Structure 1
Amino acid sequence: MGDDRVEYWSKRWGNKDIGWHKTGVNNFLSNHIGKLTDGKNNLAFLIPLCGKTIDMKWLYDLGHTVVGIEGVEQAILDFFKEQSLEYVRTEGAGFSLFKTPDSRLKIYLTDLFKIPTNVLGKFDAIWDRGSLVAIYPKDRELYAKRMKEVAADKCKYLVAVMHHDPEKFAGPPRNVFKEELFKLYEDTFNIEEIDRISRANVPLGDGTLFIEDSWEVLYLLRHK
């Protein structure tokens, strides 16, 4: 993310304006974890723009290796403190790495669009809730390119997006139409909708209500 983007999210974290953060494991993830893992253990998971989501600790406790990418240091510090996890911090070229002593949970403090993908490695699974819908539309092609670069040959990718009228609510979370999702990913992944939930009139972080006819939709992407 560019400096202006990081500054925007840093201010929201500093003001504790983080209404998107959930205190429990995301229901989409817990309900559909089997579609990502096929019952396998010790898979490599990527969670882009992870914030301090408890989903990382949940996947870690299931025995998987988890890598998060986050641009705001406070979010990372809060995560390790709130989850009572020890961490070691090291510095790299353009990033700081926070990792548990066993190295199974790592969070990179960095610009998602600048960290070399070879530093991140390849992933068996990607969980994207709140990342694609957070970035600017102009950045989506580059974002999708980077996700495809780190996807292992049999990678499965869960992405939750918002379907609503962008003229009524600009976001974030921003609208991502089905057609755009296919345009971004169908060259590499087979795509299917597997779940959706109405978000009509759901309170946002600032106390306002989400618009009517708004849906959070979950797609499963399977590497071709």
Structure 2
Amino acid sequence: MELSYWESRWNKDKTGFHMDEGYPGLKNYWPALNLSSNSRVLVPLCGKSVDMIFLEQQGADVVGVEVSQKAVLSFFSEQRREFHTKDYSGFTIHTSGNIELWQGDFLKYPAQKSGFDLIYDKAALVALPPTKQTSYVDKLHSLAGPDTKILLHHFVYPQHEMQGPPFSVKPQKIDDYFSDQFTLSLLEEKRIPSEQFIPFRRRGLKSSITERLLILKPRK
């Protein structure tokens, strides 16, 4: 699955994955992250997520990375925010307040710009097919410092019933990807009937989807 796929989805307004009100789990479990008020947060594959507004309101400096120009510009337009731009290392950086949106390929985000307190993966890993997930996880590891936490949201369902995205990532696979460097704690798990995902049922999904939210803390 190439970057052009996601650019096409945004350009055609096929963005049913976008949550107009943001992801409730972020707000519900923000205190459990125990971050300082001036934390630095990375949001990979951020789209135009309003979660970035919530993070900024908590005092965080937010860095979102998104390939789609339309998604980036829509974020600022819909939030009625002015911004300025500059080019850096193959990215166009849009800055407004304490939010920076880096337009470009997340896998090329410069390592020297790491130093994050939190990486917020809201269904970013599951947006990628298994053939791309390892490179994405390796990138997260390269950007995570000794104190970086990861808030990870993913789905589990019978993959043979529906072609992703979102792709199913089983708990054991999450362990394989992260347990060497992080301890994994489950914050929330709920099973959602497929009837609540009409577009997924049209694509063949019959079973329920298990939605999971985890906090990953670095091993000391």
TM-score, structure 1 as length reference: 0.91
CA root-mean-square deviation = 1.7
Q: CA deviation at 1:212?
A: 2.0
Q: 1:58 and 2:54 equivalent?
A: yes
CA distance in 2, matches of 1:77, 1:211: 36
CA distance in 2, matches of 1:13, 1:205: 17
Kindly provide the CA deviation profile for residues 78-127 of structure 1, in whole angstroms up to 9, marking residues without a partner as x.
00111111111101221110111x4x210111111122221x32110111
CA distance in 2, matches of 1:40, 1:93: 29
CA distance in 2, matches of 1:189, 1:152: 11
Change (3 A) 1:126 1:39: closer
Kindly provide the CA deviation profile for residues 45-104 of structure 1, in whole angstroms up to 9, marking residues without a partner as x.
11100000000011112211000000100000000111111111101221110111x4x2
Paired position in structure 2 for 1:85:
81
Amino acid across the alignment from 1:89: T
Paired position in structure 1 for 2:187:
194
Q: 1:70 and 2:66 equivalent?
A: yes
CA distance in 2, matches of 1:207, 1:175: 15
Query: Which of 24, 29, 36 pairs up with 1:27?
Result: 24
Change (3 A) 1:186 1:207: closer
CA distance in 1, matches of 2:178, 2:136: 11
CA distance in 2, matches of 1:206, 1:176: 16
Number of equivalent positions: 217
Q: 1:208 and 2:202 equivalent?
A: yes
Q: 1:41 and 2:37 equivalent?
A: yes
> Is the CA contact 2:121–2:153 (under 8 Å) kept in the aligned structure 1?
yes
Q: CA deviation at 1:211?
A: 3.4
For residues 109-120 of structure 1, the aligned pairs below 5 Å read 109-118=103-112, 120=113
CA distance in 2, matches of 1:195, 1:206: 22
- Runs (4 or more) in structure 1 with deviation over 3 Å come to 204-211
CA distance in 2, matches of 1:113, 1:44: 19
> Is the CA contact 2:162–2:200 (under 8 Å) kept in the aligned structure 1?
no
Q: Percent identity, please.
A: 26
Amino acid across the alignment from 1:27: P
TM-score, structure 2 as length reference: 0.93
